[in-house]
Amino acid sequence: MAEAALVNAVELTVSEISQALKRVVEDQFDHVRIRGEISGYRGPHSSGHVYFALKDEGARIDAVIWKGVFNRFRIKPEEGMEVVVTGKITTYPGRSNYQIVIETLEPAGLGALMALLEQRKKTLAAEGLFDEARKQILPYLPKVIGVVTSPTGAVIRDILHRLEDRFARHVIVWPVRVQGETAAAEIAAAIRGFNALPEGGKIPRPDVLIVARGGGSLEDLWSFNEEIVVRAAAESMIPLISAVGHETDVTLIDFASDKRAPTPTAAAEMAVPVHADLCARLESQVRRIRAVWKRAQDERRNELRAAMRALPTLDTLLSIPRQRLDTASDKLPRALLANAHVHHQQFSRLSGRLSPQLLRQRTQRGRELVQALAQRGARAHGNYILRLDQRLQGLAKLLNAFSYKDVLRRGFALVRDAAGAPLHSVAAVAAGMALEIEFADGRVTAQAGDNPPAQSEDTPARPRPRKSGTGSSGQGSLFS
């Protein structure tokens, strides 16, 4: 009977039994909550989906997170992390096993979050993102302050109120979510957005940034522990102040920022000085400068007075020059007489050398020199005219040699038309054309008659008929 029952059982294909098992499992375990340790996590697949396993001391179950769900996770899975996940159990017919399709994932308790935070802190610190050498000095009095926070919370009001009390500055708020799935991406985008503003652009570029949020639990502040936010803060070229939570709250952005403030109000105090204190300090500096200047002036005045006492009096300075002047004035009459006497002697010697005979001799020599120069000039001028005349005769002979009139003197004639243009061939002459014929001794006018037919050079010329002698044959007699 048992064998008959087995034979009469419904025959199913492998796919049919797999689908039946899939329906049963999904109906029974449509929504489950599982706690376990992540194992075999290697990051998202090229498709964007995530595959790993959950295990405990005695069992193991495969897990999958679809791409769209994984992108919404605030806390990403990591190898060895103990988590609590929710989802549904299903089967994978390709390998005949079951798996959980995860819909939510969170660390298993506060200890897991702290362990994850500590591990992430060590990783980022090893890259040098928290080094003090990377920290920038905050500007003493920034013109523009950029604030990254929620526009509706009490944080931005506290910051604005504190800035107004201390030193009012221009504030630009970049509104972001400070909690939730998209908060980390928005905060990082805001920091990078402020840094991307150009100098002198339509929107002024801040001189300092404040990233602020009010207090909350570790889960509420987790967005400021995300790697994308920490890296954006470390890369910021604008000095950045982190003011997240209360004084006891510590997030990873505090280590990457240039300055950490215990509260958002304290961040505003760090960003600007107190206006009254600044004015008092400025007045103190002015008083000190004036006192130093006055003391320096007094010292210079005393030095000048001491130098004046060391200088000689006017009578002392002029006594020696006065004596020299008196001595020179006493010597001046005698010196004038001696000088005149010396010049008179020199004039007498020179006048003795001058005589009419000497002047006549010098005049005669000058006259002879002028005559000699005149004769030389006349000869040079004659030679120059002779050379020019010889050159001119040579050019005239050359001109006659190339002139057409020499050809006319040898018996030729030059024929021109009525306009005076030379004619070079018979073809240029038309019947009845007025001509001008130039001979060596003059010109005559003529008129062209009919042109005889041109005789080809290849046609032999006909012999002229001889004059007829006696007889009818026209042949001359050899004896006549």
Q: For the segment 351-384, what is each residue's pLDDT rounded down to a tens digit?
A: 777 777 777 888 899 999 999 999 999 999 999 9
Strand partners, 44: none
Fold of 118-130+143-272: Rossmann fold (3.40.50)
Question: Rounded CA gap, 17 and 93, in Å?
Answer: 10
How far from 345 is each of 129, 171, 457, CA to CA, in Å? Answer: 107, 103, 112
Q: How confident is the model at residue 2 (pLDDT cuts 50, 70, 90)?
A: low
Compute the average pLDDT of residues 279-307: 92
pLDDT of residue 452: 56
Compute the average pLDDT of residues 455-461: 49
In this structure, what token pair is assigned to residue 89? 């159990």
Instruction: Report whether CATH 2.40.50.140 matches the domain 14-108.
Output: yes
Residue ranges of alpha helices (H) inside 47-180 are: 67-72, 110-126, 154-166
pLDDT of residue 479: 40
In this structure, what token pair is assigned to residue 411? 């018996």
> For 40, left (φ over 0), alpha (ψ -120 to 50), or beta?
left
pLDDT of residue 3: 58
Q: Assign 82 to helix, strand or coil.
A: strand
Q: How confident is the model at residue 463 (pLDDT cuts 50, 70, 90)?
A: low
End-to-end Cα separation, the chain, in angstroms: 181
What single DSSP character describes residue 176?
A: -
Highest mean pLDDT among 229-233, 415-419, 442-446: 229-233
pLDDT tens profile 103-142? 988 777 656 677 778 888 999 999 999 999 999 999 999 9
Q: Assign 16 to helix, strand or coil.
A: helix
Name the one residue in this structure whose structure tokens are 């049963």: 24
Cβ partners under 8 Å of residue 142, min gap 6: 169, 206, 207, 208, 271, 272
pLDDT of residue 109: 64
Compute the average pLDDT of residues 427-449: 87
Residue ranges of alpha helices (H) inside 47-153 are: 67-72, 110-126
Mean residue pLDDT of the chain comes to: 85
> For 227, left (φ over 0), alpha (ψ -120 to 50), or beta?
alpha
> For 126, left (φ over 0), alpha (ψ -120 to 50), or beta?
alpha
CA 298 to chain centre: 54
Name the one residue in this structure whose structure tokens are 């936010």: 229
Q: Domain spans of the chain? A: 14-108, 118-130+143-272, 414-447
Pairing of strands 170-175, 97-107: unpaired
How far from 172 is each of 147, 205, 223, 355, 380, CA to CA, in Å? Answer: 6, 9, 22, 112, 104
CA 207 to chain centre: 25
Question: Rounded CA gap, 211 and 224, in Å?
Answer: 10
pTM of the model: 0.47
pLDDT of residue 480: 35
Strand partners, 145: 171, 208
Question: Rounded CA gap, 312 and 305, in Å?
Answer: 13
**412: nearest Cα among 437, 429, 430, 436:** 437
The torsion angle over the Cα atoms of residues 12, 15, 17 and 23, rounded to 10 degrees, is -140
Question: Rounded CA gap, 348 and 342, in Å?
Answer: 10
The upper half-sphere exposure of residue 444, i.e. CA atoms within 13 Å in the direction of its Cβ, equals: 6
Compute the average pLDDT of residues 442-463: 65
Question: Rounded CA gap, 463 and 468, in Å?
Answer: 15
pLDDT of residue 472: 43
Q: Edge-to-edge strand order for the sheet containing 414-416?
A: 414-416, 434-439, 442-447
What single DSSP character describes residue 297?
A: H
Cβ partners under 8 Å of residue 230, min gap 6: 124, 129, 252, 253, 255, 256
Lowest-pLDDT range of 201-210, 345-354, 418-427: 345-354
What single DSSP character describes residue 422?
A: B
How far from 301 is each of 289, 290, 293, 297, CA to CA, in Å? Answer: 18, 16, 12, 6
pLDDT of residue 429: 86
